[in-house]
């Protein structure tokens, strides 16, 4: 496990620990590739990453088409819980699953702080992760840390 990977895992766990009701957290690239996850046995990390990215991209396109400006986050409310996505710059995202009692306002506050730290981890060239692979123009280096 690289230092950068360990720090990402720790950030994701911190977010889960700080907000009551958070059950699963994924960090993924905008194209849905998993970067890191802390998930319960009810959610498959790769699938959650892909679906979260799809949710965010649809919202982003809807916002773009209607000139609503930059997307910050999306919230899907279900009978038994939430799926919340937060953007990490243009290249990555955080997806959070929570139960029906999740403290949504606290999540937004904590997710913004986490987003800044995770973005730094994903983009900081000084982090001691393996060098990014070739042929990834336009991608942040963090996206190469995806499982596939």
Partner 1 sequence: MGLELAKTLTEAPLDRISGRLLVAGDPGGSFHLRGGAIVEVASPGAPGAETLLLRSGRLSEDDWASAARRCATERHIGAELVARELVGAAELQLICVAAALDGALAVGMGRIDGFSLERDTYDSRLTALQAIEPDWLVMEAKRRIQALVSRRRPFSPFRTRLGRTDAGSTSLDTTAAGERREILLRINGRRSTRDIAFLLGRSLYAVAVEVSRLLAEGLVEAVAPAPSMDSPVRPAAPAGGLPRRLPGASGINDVLPLRPAAGL
Using the contact rule CB under 8 A, the part of the chain among 7-15, 27-35, 63-71, 82-90 near partner 1 is 7-15
Q: Closest Cα partner for 70 from 45, 89, 96, 49?
A: 89
Position among 64, 101, 136, 147 found at the interface with partner 1 (CB under 8 A): 101
Residue 102 binding partner 1, by CB under 8 A: yes
For helices 104-123 and 3-18, the axis angle rounded to 10 degrees is 170
Contacts 24+ apart (CB under 8 A), 101-104: 101/20, 101/21, 102/19, 102/20, 102/21, 102/22, 103/19, 103/20, 103/21, 104/75
Using the contact rule CB under 8 A, the part of the chain among 10-18, 50-58, 68-76, 87-95 near partner 1 is 10-18
Residue 113 binding partner 1, by CB under 8 A: no
Residue 130 binding partner 1, by CB under 8 A: no
Q: How far is the CB of 17 from partner 1 (least distance, A)?
A: 7
Q: Closest Cα partner for 20 from 128, 84, 105, 77?
A: 105
Residues binding partner 1 (CB under 8 A): 1, 3, 6-7, 9-11, 13, 17, 20-21, 23, 40-41, 79-80, 99-103, 106
């Amino acid at each position: 496990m690289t230092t950068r990977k360990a720090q990402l895992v720790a950030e994701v766990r911190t977010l889960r620990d700080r907000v009551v009701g958070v059950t699963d957290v994924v960090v993924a690239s905008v194209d849905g590739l998993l970067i890191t996850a802390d998930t319960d046995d009810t959610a498959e990390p790769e699938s959650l990453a892909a679906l979260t990215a799809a949710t965010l991209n649809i919202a982003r396109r809807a916002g773009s088409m209607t000139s609503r400006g930059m997307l910050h986050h999306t919230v899907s409310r279900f009978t038994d819980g939430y799926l919340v996505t937060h953007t990490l710059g243009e290249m990555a995202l955080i997806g959070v699953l929570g139960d029906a009692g999740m403290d949504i306002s606290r999540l937004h506050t904590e997710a913004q702080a986490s987003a800044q730290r995770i973005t730094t981890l994903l983009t900081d060239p000084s982090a001691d992760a393996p060098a990014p692979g070739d042929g990834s123009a336009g991608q942040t280096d963090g996206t190469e840390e995806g499982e596939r």
